[in-house]
Structure 1
Amino acid sequence: MKVLLTAINSKFVHSNLAVRYLKAFTKDMDYTAQIREFSINDREENILEEIIKEKPDVVAFSTYIWNIEMIKKLSNLIKIVDKNIEIIYGGPEVSYDSNKILGELVGDYIIEGEGEKTYREFIEYKLGKKSISSIRGLYYKENGEVIANGKRPLMNMDEIIFPYEENENLDNKIVYYEGSRGCPFNCKYCLSSTTHGVRFLDSERVKKELKFFIDKKVRLVKFVDRTFNCNHKFSMAVWEFLINEETNTQFHFEISADILKSKELELLRKAPKDRFQFEVGVQTTNDDVLNRINRFVNFSDIKEKVCELLEIKNIKQHLDLIAGLPGENYNSFERSFNEVYIIRPEEIQLGFLKLLKGSSMREEAHLYDMKYSPYPPYEILSTKDISYDELLILKKVEGVVDKYYNSQKFNNIIKYFIPKFKNPFDFYLALGNFFDKKGYFKRNIGNSEYYKVFLDFNLEILKGDNFILGDILKFDYLSFNKKRGMPDFLERPLTKNQEQEIKSQLRGKYSLKDYQLEIFSVNINKFINEGEIVMEKTYFLFAHEGEVIDVTSQIC
């Protein structure tokens, strides 16, 4: 018997943890388990062809809000091509109201909740060694009816089998890993609130498994733990181990900043730069709204710890905000954005509330007149506090914040514009409206165009002169892009003769064939460090690999 464990990931670089868990948990059994991973950007007909070519007896789909619609279509197509292929579903998108969902799908089975033990017993059933009616956590069809076998108790974490294999190619992949399951908090919008308690792997085992990724030189390991630092002893042990390892692998953790202890902060100061990335769910800076969603914390407590981490300057922080929360109107969200922006984390994620199946937020939707899409990802459309049109405005803001602020490639350009507006939100709102007016949200624009936008924006919206902006824009562009083929809108005031004359003063100090020399009318360093515009010639060398050298003092 052959089971095709099928993952349709949101991006090609992602790796699916669920299907690997199932294969690992049954690796001693007498059947063939084959993993195939695709992405939602693949064509459905191509995925179908690859599935059918595998000649599986059973196709197992790992379902999420981003792939369920594609999986429904693929299931129909599979059954049309070969009605004898059985289909089993698992994952969060089918684990609530599973009886009803299986009745609507063409597939044959659903695994509810944690899947390892249920899947193992399902394989035993397929091998003729177990009765299907005895498999807890399984839903199946019999004579047109859906049969439920009752819920399965949560696993002991020690029973989980490490899901990655020695010969597996993880190059250029984002690898997912978990050291715990569950969450100590009860946020109303999150499915983790439906399962109480947190279970941990032994920290010594975690260290050993993380060493596997380090030895394979994995680029990025993302912990899927809902609140990694909810157990002080556990987080300290794992962080200390990773800090002391010689590796270029990065590790991403979702944490609650407000519960960070002084000893953890002291330890994190020792972390090599860029070894860790932290994702912090702020969601809103409105304490009343935080209480409404069962997050009993004050924003001031979160801010204090986030700022302490920023002072360390070695950990990249990603702060989340959610629009559409109960009790938060447009003005309140604007304040939330500005208060988070002032902190200046490396990334700000503007998300939109999703009313997930089984979440208490969906059950309470009527209390706040919440209108949301009935289709995945079940995103909010309006509430009694914020309208659909206002959410559309925030979508524009989100688009330009993600492109410009989060990329960290336009920092000095942004620094030039922010003081020209009442607050940061107003700048991104104006830029988002400008993008919308020009139709840039609806078509792809080239890399250099993302820079040129600012020249047009400055002229049309602020009626400003582009002389100073042009220098700042050129500096940011050359710091992150190839030097050859520099776009025409970036002026080069140096003639070839002038460039050669200046380079003659620098020969012997630099291998000038590896650098591009540029002159600026603005004192760039003074602007970067102090935000002050001083008209003063400065000279920089830009290397192809991103190195930037101020050589002003070396030129007569």
Structure 2
Amino acid sequence: MKTLIIGINSKYIHPAMGAFQIYTNSIHPIELKEFTIKDNKENIIEFINKQDFDILAFSVYIWNISFIHSIISELKHIKTIILGGPEASYRPNDFLKYPNVQYIIKDEGEEAFNKLISELKGNKDFSKVPNLYYKDGNQYKFTYPKKPNIKNIKYDYSLIKDFKNRVVYLEASRGCCFRCAYCLASLEKTIRYLDFDLVKEHILFALKNGARVIKFLDRSFNINVNYTEAIIKFLKEHNNNYTVYQFEVVGDLLDKKIIELLKTVRRGQIRFEIGIQSLNETVTRAVNRTQNLFKLIENINAIKDNIIIHLDLIAGLPYEDKASFINTFNKTFEIFPDELQLGFLKELQGTEISLTKDIHEYIFEPNPP
């Protein structure tokens, strides 16, 4: 029983890391193919129709959900489709309406995929498969949630292939200790860390292959001070005057010894993405955020000579009117970051913002950006 898994990226530079993880950890025969949303849909369908497989799988995200809907609707002859990814995980009704979408793996899928294929080959007792939505007659059922043991997860970054022209996404941890109402990471209740030696191995592999940009997927990189310190020291020791690393950090919680360490890093080697989102305390409380603006500015000023500072704002949060947002924007601009990104609130299925949108009278554009 062979599976074809397809990753559809927003751009060529962004690898299909979710599909890579399923492929790398599969104990069953599997083929992998990448496309982008810029590719011709008919060419993708033609490629699928020429392949020899029993099961077709897609990973669904906000940037490709509309594209995947349009593809699935033209694959009526394919009997079994498995979906994964956040947009399938939290909107199963939208996909299980298709007769051939039989299974949706929710959240992390490395372990669940293997167990699902084993059951399809064997007794078909899908209740034994974690994180699974499956069809049972005219209804669908969910089994049970379970995170895989992070120590058992394998990685194969060679699948990126073009390291110089693609972003290398690494992870040192999974999960987040914060509960920001608009963010999918808020649904992961605990932080689980990869073995530090494995993280170092991944960094060295990317450097050996000429990676220009390495982005860590960790949602709260600087929460574990000792782990943060160890990684930054390792990057400093292996500075090649070429590679840039990006981390998502909580700016007002930067530890003093981390700040002192960052002052010794080559300018341009590290970029920090810091989510300010809003400076209105009523707004931040409504989305379960707290931040010390004085401390945030103090910390940024302490490291900005060495670290590229990227600040994020979100327009459209609860209770933020035009005057409030103008105040947020002006005060953030006065920090003079290297990069200031203004994003608009997106409805991510499963988040508190999505579940409470009627309370705030949100009307979201049905077509994702």
Same fold (TM over 0.5): yes
Are 2:121 and 1:127 equivalent residues in the alignment?
Answer: yes
Residue identity matched to 2:353: M
Which runs of structure 2 are paired with 1:240-255 in the superposition (5 Å)? 240-247=233-240, 248-255=242-249
Q: Deviations over 1:334-380 (max 9, x none)?
A: 11111111111111111011122111122332333322224435xxx
How far apart are residue 130 of structure 1 and its match? 6.1
Q: Is the 8 A contact 1:287 1:299 kept in 2?
A: no
How far apart are residue 153 of structure 1 and its match? 1.7
| Corresponding residue for residue 155 of structure 2 | 162
1:226 match: secondary structure: coil
TM-score (norm 1): 0.63
| Corresponding residue for residue 66 of structure 2 | 69
1:114 to 83, 92, 108: 108
Q: Is the 8 A contact 1:178 1:225 kept in 2?
A: yes
How far apart are residue 152 of structure 1 and its match? 2.5
Q: Could you say if the C-alpha distance between residues 95 and 30 of structure 1 is closer, same or farther in structure 2, counting changes exceeding 3 Å?
A: closer
| Corresponding residue for residue 404 of structure 1 | none
Are 2:355 and 1:363 equivalent residues in the alignment?
Answer: yes
Which runs of structure 2 are paired with 1:307-456 in the superposition (5 Å)? 307-310=301-304, 313-376=305-368
Residue identity matched to 1:15: P
Residue identity matched to 1:55: D
1:222 to 185, 210, 215: 215
TM-score (norm 2): 0.94
Q: Is the 8 A contact 1:286 1:299 kept in 2?
A: no
Q: Is the 8 A contact 2:244 2:269 kept in 1?
A: yes
Structure 2 Cα separation of the partners of residues 54 and 171 of structure 1? 30
Range with bigger deviation, 191-200 or 131-140 = 131-140
Structure 2 Cα separation of the partners of residues 190 and 167 of structure 1? 27
How far apart are residue 304 of structure 1 and its match? 1.8
Structure 2 Cα separation of the partners of residues 288 and 145 of structure 1? 42
Q: Is the 8 A contact 1:102 1:108 kept in 2?
A: no
| Corresponding residue for residue 211 of structure 1 | 204
Identity of aligned residues (%): 37
Q: Could you say if the C-alpha distance between residues 50 and 170 of structure 1 is closer, same or farther in structure 2, counting changes exceeding 3 Å?
A: farther
1:71 match: secondary structure: helix
Structure 2 Cα separation of the partners of residues 302 and 167 of structure 1? 36
How far apart are residue 151 of structure 1 and its match? 1.9
Structure 2 Cα separation of the partners of residues 15 and 231 of structure 1? 27
| Corresponding residue for residue 274 of structure 1 | 268
Q: Is the 8 A contact 2:96 2:102 kept in 1?
A: no
Q: Is the 8 A contact 1:17 1:163 kept in 2?
A: no
Are 2:62 and 1:58 equivalent residues in the alignment?
Answer: no
| Corresponding residue for residue 237 of structure 1 | 230
| Corresponding residue for residue 255 of structure 2 | 261
Q: Could you say if the C-alpha distance between residues 167 and 74 of structure 1 is closer, same or farther in structure 2, counting changes exceeding 3 Å?
A: closer
Q: Deviations over 1:514-547 (max 9, x none)?
A: xxxxxxxxxxxxxxxxxxxxxxxxxxxxxxxxxx
| Corresponding residue for residue 21 of structure 1 | 21
Runs of at least 5 residues in structure 2 that lack an aligned partner in the other structure: none
Q: Could you say if the C-alpha distance between residues 273 and 366 of structure 1 is closer, same or farther in structure 2, counting changes exceeding 3 Å?
A: same
Structure 2 Cα separation of the partners of residues 69 and 223 of structure 1? 27
Structure 1 Cα separation of the partners of residues 213 and 281 of structure 2? 34
Q: Deviations over 1:448-488 (max 9, x none)?
A: xxxxxxxxxxxxxxxxxxxxxxxxxxxxxxxxxxxxxxxxx
How far apart are residue 97 of structure 1 and its match? 4.5
Structure 2 Cα separation of the partners of residues 270 and 113 of structure 1? 38
Residue identity matched to 1:83: I
Which runs of structure 2 are paired with 1:387-536 in the superposition (5 Å)? none
Q: Deviations over 1:277-309 (max 9, x none)?
A: 111101012223212211111322222212222
How far apart are residue 132 of structure 1 and its match? 2.9
| Structure with higher helix content | 1
| Corresponding residue for residue 291 of structure 2 | 297
Q: Deviations over 1:407-447 (max 9, x none)?
A: xxxxxxxxxxxxxxxxxxxxxxxxxxxxxxxxxxxxxxxxx
Where relative contact order (Cα < 8 A, 6+ residues apart) is larger, the structure is 2
2:327 match: secondary structure: helix
2:7 match: secondary structure: strand
Structure 1 Cα separation of the partners of residues 134 and 116 of structure 2? 11
Structure 1 Cα separation of the partners of residues 127 and 191 of structure 2? 30
2:15 match: secondary structure: coil
Structure 2 Cα separation of the partners of residues 161 and 154 of structure 1? 15
Q: Could you say if the C-alpha distance between residues 129 and 30 of structure 1 is closer, same or farther in structure 2, counting changes exceeding 3 Å?
A: farther
How far apart are residue 142 of structure 1 and its match? 3.7
Q: Is the 8 A contact 2:160 2:166 kept in 1?
A: no
Structure 2 Cα separation of the partners of residues 144 and 292 of structure 1? 39
Q: Is the 8 A contact 2:172 2:218 kept in 1?
A: yes
Are 2:165 and 1:175 equivalent residues in the alignment?
Answer: no
Structure 2 Cα separation of the partners of residues 12 and 97 of structure 1? 26
Structure 2 Cα separation of the partners of residues 203 and 136 of structure 1? 27
Runs of at least 5 residues in structure 1 that lack an aligned partner in the other structure: 378-556
Are 2:12 and 1:12 equivalent residues in the alignment?
Answer: yes
| Corresponding residue for residue 41 of structure 2 | 44
1:370 match: secondary structure: coil
Q: Could you say if the C-alpha distance between residues 171 and 49 of structure 1 is closer, same or farther in structure 2, counting changes exceeding 3 Å?
A: farther
| Corresponding residue for residue 87 of structure 1 | 81
How far apart are residue 102 of structure 1 and its match? 3.8
Structure 2 Cα separation of the partners of residues 222 and 281 of structure 1? 16
Structure 1 Cα separation of the partners of residues 320 and 160 of structure 2? 50
How far apart are residue 275 of structure 1 and its match? 1.2
How far apart are residue 238 of structure 1 and its match? 0.7
CA-based RMSD of the aligned residues comes to 1.9
How far apart are residue 115 of structure 1 and its match? 0.6
| Corresponding residue for residue 516 of structure 1 | none
